[in-house]
């Protein structure tokens, strides 16, 4: 084999390798460019992010359990505030219906006079002049 033939054989070999690499890259791109491939990669990214966030939350909860309990209680009370208020109101309404009044009103006669004072009194004339 002459030098030219060797160079030509080497060039053909390099061409076949480059073409094979090109087709592998093209196949990988086509498999990743499908809807399923894009969704799969997005889901993997979300899972990684959620896992990291979950680990941080658990670590902070272990450091400050009282603060986490207080925050959780506050969120729960905020979310359930209407239901809690409704239950308390229903309980109070039931108590009013079933129990006699704690301090019964006395039935004594009140004076018939108007309890509010007259703010514009009428002048009275006297004969002392």
Q: What are 77-125's pLDDT values in tens digits?
A: 999 999 999 999 988 888 777 766 666 666 555 555 556 666 776 767 6
DSSP structure string for 32-80 = HHSHHHHHHHHHHHHHHHHHHHHHHHHHHHHH-HHHHHHHHHHHHHHHT
First to last CA, the chain: 155
Q: What is the reported pTM?
A: 0.33
Q: What are 20-50's pLDDT values in tens digits?
A: 999 999 988 887 777 777 888 888 888 888 8
Round to whole Å and give the CA distance between 24 and 124: 116
Instruction: Give me 44's structure tokens.
Output: 């993997």
Q: What are 49-78's pLDDT values in tens digits?
A: 888 888 888 888 888 888 888 998 999 999
Instruction: Give me 77's structure tokens.
Output: 């009370």
């Amino acid at each position: 084999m002459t030098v030219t033939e060797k160079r030509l054989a080497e060039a053909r070999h390099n061409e076949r390798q480059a073409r094979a690499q090109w087709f592998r890259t093209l196949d990988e791109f086509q498999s990743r460019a499908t809807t399923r491939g894009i969704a799969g990669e997005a889901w993997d990214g979300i899972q990684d992010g959620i896992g990291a966030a979950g680990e941080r939350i658990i670590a902070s909860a272990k450091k400050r359990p009282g603060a986490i309990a207080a925050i959780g209680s506050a969120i729960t009370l905020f979310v359930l505030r209407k239901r809690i208020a409704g239950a308390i109101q229903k309980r109070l309404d039931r108590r009013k219906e079933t129990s006699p009044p704690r301090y019964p009103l006395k039935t004594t006669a009140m004076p018939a006079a108007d309890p509010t004072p007259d703010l514009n009194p009428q002048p009275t004339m006297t004969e002392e002049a």
